[in-house]
Amino acid sequence: MAQELFAPSSLIFSATLLAALSGVPLLFPWLLNASRAQLLSIVLMLAASCAGLTGAILSIFSGVSVLFELAWTLPFGSARFGVDPLSAWFLLLIFLIPGSAALYARSYWHADSRRSNVRKMTFFCGLMTAGMSSVVLARDGISFLFAWELMALAAYFLVSTEDENPEVKEAGTLYMITTHTGTLALFALFPLLNLLAGSWLFPATGSLSASSPLASAIFFLALFGFGMKAGIMPLHIWLPSAHANAPSHVSAVMSGVILKVGVYGLIRTLSFFHGIPLWWGCCVLVLGVISGVVGVAFAIGQHDLKRLLAYHSIENIGIIFMGLGVALIGQTAGSPAMMLLGMSGALLHVLNHAIFKALLFLGAGSVIHATGTREIDLMGGVARRLPYTALLFGVGSVAICGLPPLNGFVSELLIYLGFFQGIQGEGGAAAAAALAAPALALVGGLAVACFVKVYGIVFLGAPRTESHTAKHEAGWQMLLPMLLLAVLCIAIGLAPGLVAGHLQRTSLTVLPLLANTAGLPLQELVPMTMITLSGVLLLALIAVFTFWYWRKLKLAPCGKADTWGCGYQRPAPRMQYSASSFAEMLTSLFAFVLKPQNHRPDKIAGIFPGRSSFYSHVPEAVLELVYIPLLKRMYQRLSGIRRLQGGILQQYVLYSLVTLIVLLLASYL
C-alpha cells in the first residue's frame, strides 16, 4: 500500500490536484484573513511542487511509462492519462518554476498590499500549474484539449491580473485572441489524428507513416497551434505584451513554462510519425533560425525590461526549434548522432531556459519592485542598492547568453555538435546544418550584446532619475527562489554529466528509431568531463583574476566621479549611455525588420537652441505592419458576412430552424 501511495505517478497526480486547489484558501475571506490565507496557499503550492518534482525525478530515474484510464460518461469515451520520461522531463519545470514563483509572490504580491487582485492571481496560478501538468499527462486528444484550454484560460486571467489598466486589458485581449486561434488549429489536429490512427488515444511512438498528405496536414496544424503557444517568430505577437504586463512572477511561469508546453505538444505530435521527410525538419529549423535571430534583434531594440526578456524567450524558443530541426533532419538522414544530439539539446535547453528565464524575470521583478518602473532608461545604479539581486541576475544573464560555465552553454553546445554531425553528412541535410550553425552563433553573439546593455544600464552606473532610484533589497522570499534557480544554473553548467543519462533516456522515448541502436551514449558524443573541467578551470581563473584585481584596486588611489563623466566640468547622471544609444548601431543594422521609429529633435538651430526632445521606439513590427493591416483589410472585405449577425434574436433562431428543415428535407434525397 505504501508503495502504491508513493509511486511516482500517484505523487504526480496528487501534486496536480493539490496545485489546482492551492488558491482555494484565499476564496474564503470571511474564514481566514488574506495574509494568512496567502501563506496557506503558498504552503500548499510548495507541497505540490515538492511532490510533483519528486514524482517526476523518480519516473525519469525508472524510465517506465504508465497509462491510466479514467472511465467517465462524457462523450468521446474515457479519459487517459499517463507518465513517461518525456512527460516527466517537462513536469520538472512545470513544478519547479510555479513553486518558486509562489514563494516569490509572498513578498512581491503580498496579500495586504495587493488586496484587490491577490485572490484572482493566486487561484489562477494554481489552476494554470494544474492545467499545464494535465497537458503533459494527457494521453488522448480530448483530455489534452480540456487540459490545454484550462491552462490557456487560467493564463488569460493571470495576464489580466491588473485589468483596471487599459494596457493590461489590451494585452489580455490580444493573448485571448491568439491563444484561441491556436486552439482552433488543435481542434482540427486531433480529429485528423483520430482519422489517421483510428482512436482518440495517442498512437504509439513512430507508429504512423509521415508520407500521407493527412500527415502533412497534421504537421502544419501542430506547427501552427503549438507554435502559437510557444511563440515562434511570425506567431509570437501576443508574447511581448502579455509577458510585459503580467506580474513578474507570472511572466516567469509563462515564459519559463507555458511556452515549453507548446514545445511539448510539437515534440509529442512529431513523435507519432516515422519516415519524416526532409522538408519537415527544414521547416522547423528555418522557423527556429528566424525566431532566434529576429527575436534577439527585437530584444536589443527594447526599452522595457520585461518586454526585452519576452523577446529573449522568442529567441530561446528559436534555439529549441533549431535543436528539434536537427533531430528531425537526422531522422531523414539516418544519423543517430544528429537525432540524439538535436533532441537532447532541445530538451536540455527547454529545462535550462525555464530555469534562467524564470531567474531573470524574478530578478527583473525585484528591480521593478525597487525602482517602480519597467523603463530601462530610467533605472541605473541598481547594483549598489540590490547587491544580491544584481549578482543573481548576473548569473541568469551569463546563462542566457550561452556562455560557459553555466547551463545555457551546455545545451547550445549539444545543438552545435548536432549541426557539426550534420555537416559531415551529405545532401540537403548537410547544407541545412551548415547554414544554421552560423545563425546560432549570431544569436549567441547578439544575446551577449543585449545582456551587456541590460546589465550595464540597469545595474551599473548611477541612478538616472531621482524618482526611480532603487530603494531596497528584495525580501528573502524573493531572493531564495532566485538563489535556488541560480544554483541550478551553475550545477547543470558545471556537471552536465549528472543529467546526461536521464536526458538520453528521455530523448530515446521520442526517437523510436534509436531504441534499437541503444549503444550510443550521449557521453561519447559530448565531452562531458571536459565541460566540467574547463568550467571549474574558468571559475578558478575568474576567482584568481578577481582577487588580483581587487588587491590592485585596494592599493590604488581612488576618487569618486559620475559614470561617463568624460572630463566635463559638471557631469550629470543623464550623460550616461542610455539603452537606446547603446543599442543604436545594432538596431540600425537590423532596421529592415525592426522598423525602428526615431522621433528626432527638430528645433536645434542657432547658438542657444530651444528645448527639444529625442525619442526612439522599436514597435512590434510584425503585429503593427503585417497582422493589423491584414485584419483591417479583411474586416472591410468581409462586411457582407457580418450582416448574418444582425443582433436580432429571431434571426438567430431562424438559422436553427432553416438548418433543421434542410436536414429533414435531406432525408428525402
Partner 1 sequence: MISLADQLLVLVLLINFILLGTSRLIFSIRAVAVQGVILGILPGLIHPFSWHLVGITVVIITVKGFVIPLLLVRAVRSAEIKREVEPFLGYVPTLLLGAVFTALSFGFAGRLPMLPEHQNFMFVPASIATMMTGFLVLTTRRKAISQVIGYLVLENGIFIFGLLLAEAMPIMVEVGALLDLLVGTFVMGIVINQISREFSSLDTSRLTSLKEE
Give the CA diameter of the chain.
101
Identity of the residue, 195 or 654, whose beta carbon is nearer to partner 1 in the bound complex = 654
Antiparallel, parallel or unpaired: β 597-599 and 615-617: antiparallel
Between 1 and 638, CB nearer to partner 1: 638
Query: Which residue number, 5 or 664, has a Cβ lying nearer to partner 1?
Result: 664
Q: Is 5 helix (H, G, I), strand (E, B) or coil?
A: helix
- Toward partner 1, which CB reaches closer, 74 or 542? 74
Query: Is the Cβ of residue 3 or residue 645 nearer to partner 1 in the bound state?
Result: 645
Shortest spacing between CB 170 and partner 1, in angstroms: 17
CB atoms within 10 A of CB 495: 17
Give min distance, CB of 149 to partner 1, in A: 23
Helix (H) or strand (E) holding 557: none
Cell output for 50: 515538492
Q: For residues 530 and 648, which CB has a smaller minimum distance to partner 1 in the complex?
A: 648
At 497, which amino acid appears? G
Between the alpha carbon of residue 10 and those of residues 46, 66, 72, 382, 428, the distances in Å are 17, 11, 19, 45, 46
| Sites of contact with partner 1 (CB under 8 A) | 645-651, 653-654, 656-657, 660-661, 664, 667-668
Measured from the CB atom, the residue of 76 and 635 that comes closer to partner 1 is 635
Nearer to partner 1, 611 or 642 (CB): 642
CB of 594 to partner 1, least distance (A): 34
Shorter beta-carbon distance to partner 1: residue 593 or 631: 631
* Cβ count near 530 (within 10 Å): 9
CB of 572 to partner 1, least distance (A): 51
∠ Cα 570 574 575 (to 5°):
60
Shortest separation between residue 665's beta carbon and partner 1, angstroms: 8
> Which residues, including other chains, have CB under 8 Å from residue 541's CB and lie 6 or more apart?
none
Question: 632 Cβ partners below 8 Å, 6+ apart?
Answer: none
Between 5 and 648, name the residue whose CB sits nearer to partner 1: 648
Provide the H-helix boundaries in 2-33. 2-5, 8-21
b (16+ CB within 10 A) / e for 427-439: eebbebbeebbeb
* Smallest distance from partner 1 to CB 638, Å: 15
Nearest-angstrom CA–CA distance, 407 and 185: 34
Q: In angstroms, give the least distance from the CB of 668 to partner 1.
A: 8
Query: In angstroms, what is the minimal distance from the CB of 382 to partner 1?
Result: 45
Q: How far is the CB of 478 from partner 1 (least distance, A)?
A: 43
Shortest spacing between CB 653 and partner 1, in angstroms: 4
Measured in Å, how far apart are the chain's first and last C-alpha atoms? 62
Indicate the residue among 569 and 639 with the shorter CB distance to partner 1: 639
Q: Residue 486 corresponds to which amino acid?
A: A
Write down the least CB distance from residue 655 to partner 1, Å. 9
| Residues with Cβ within 8 Å of residue 301, at least 6 apart in sequence | 583, 586, 587, 590, 594, 596, 618
Q: How far apart are CA 595 and CA 228, in angstroms?
A: 23
Whether the CB-CB separation of 84 and 65 falls below 8 Å is answered with yes
634/660 with CB nearer partner 1: 660
Q: With H, G, I as helix, E, B as strand and everything else as coil, classify residue 232.
A: coil
CB of 636 to partner 1, least distance (A): 14
Q: Which is nearer to partner 1, 529 or 659 (CB)?
A: 659
Residue 180 Cβ, how far from partner 1 at the closest point, in Å?
Answer: 17
Task: Using alpha carbons, list the distances in angstroms from residue 343 to 46, 226, 285, 539.
Answer: 31, 17, 13, 29
Using the 8-state DSSP alphabet, how is residue 404 labeled? T
Tell me the C-alpha distance between 437 and 417, whole Å: 9
- For residue 550, the tally of other CB atoms under 10 A from its CB is 10
Distance of CA 632 to the CA centre of its chain: 30
Which lies closer to partner 1 via its Cβ, residue 445 or residue 646? 646
Please state, in angstroms and as integers, the Cα–Cα distance from residue 538 to each residue in 64, 404, 533, following that order.
38, 8, 9
- Among residues 628 and 661, whose Cβ is nearest to partner 1? 661
Q: What cell does 135 get?
A: 497537458
The residue written with cell numbers 457582407 in the block is 640
Label the pairing between strands 66-70 and 79-83. antiparallel
CB nearer to partner 1: give 533 or 634. Answer: 634
Per the structure block, which three cell numbers stand in for 238? 501576443
Shortest Cβ 73–partner 1 spacing (Å): 10
* Minimum distance, C-beta of residue 247 to partner 1, in the bound complex (Å): 30
Neighbours of 425 (CB within 10 A): 18
Helix count and strand count (H, E) for the chain: 28, 6
Return d(Cα 641, Cα 654) in angstroms, integer.
17
Give yes or no for a contact between 193 and 272, defined as CB atoms under 8 angstroms apart. yes
498's grid cell: 549528472
- Beta 597-599 vs 79-83: how paired, if at all? unpaired
Nearest approach, Cβ of 244 to partner 1 (angstroms)? Answer: 28
